[in-house]
Amino acid sequence: MSDIVNYRIEVHGRVQGVGYRYSALNMAKHLGVFGYVKNMGSGTVLLEIEGKHHAVDEMISWCRTGPGTGNVDELQIYEGKCKDFTDFKVKY
């Protein structure tokens, strides 16, 4: 069993236009988490993250509050299959 996990996270609230994506990028790089973050047309932010279980758990905890300039109302978290990401990107 691998200690690498993958999750897709939908972040709901006032999370666009507040620096959420770039703060997520910095946090992911700090924690050694790979994947991407993207604004969605629905007004949510989508992250797909993978890495060591403890690092991913820390990233999910960070996602619950974000950078502090916005307001996170809810996270929807879905476990996924690892895709062997090699970095973390902001997608457009």
Q: Which residues are catalytic?
A: 21, 39
Long-range contacts made by residues 58-66, C-beta under 8 angstroms, separation at least 24? 58/31, 59/27, 59/28, 59/31, 59/33, 60/7, 60/9, 62/24, 62/27, 63/9, 63/11, 63/24, 66/11, 66/15, 66/18, 66/20, 66/23, 66/24
CATH of the domain at 28: 3.30.70.100
Which stretch of DSSP H or E encloses residue 10?
Answer: strand 4-14
Range of the domain at 65: 4-86
Q: What is the pLDDT of residue 61?
A: 98
Residue 92 lies in a domain: no
Residue 1 has pLDDT above 80, yes or no: no
Residue 42 has pLDDT above 70, yes or no: yes
pLDDT > 70 in the chain, percent: 99
Split into its structural domains, the chain has a count of 1
pTM: 0.95
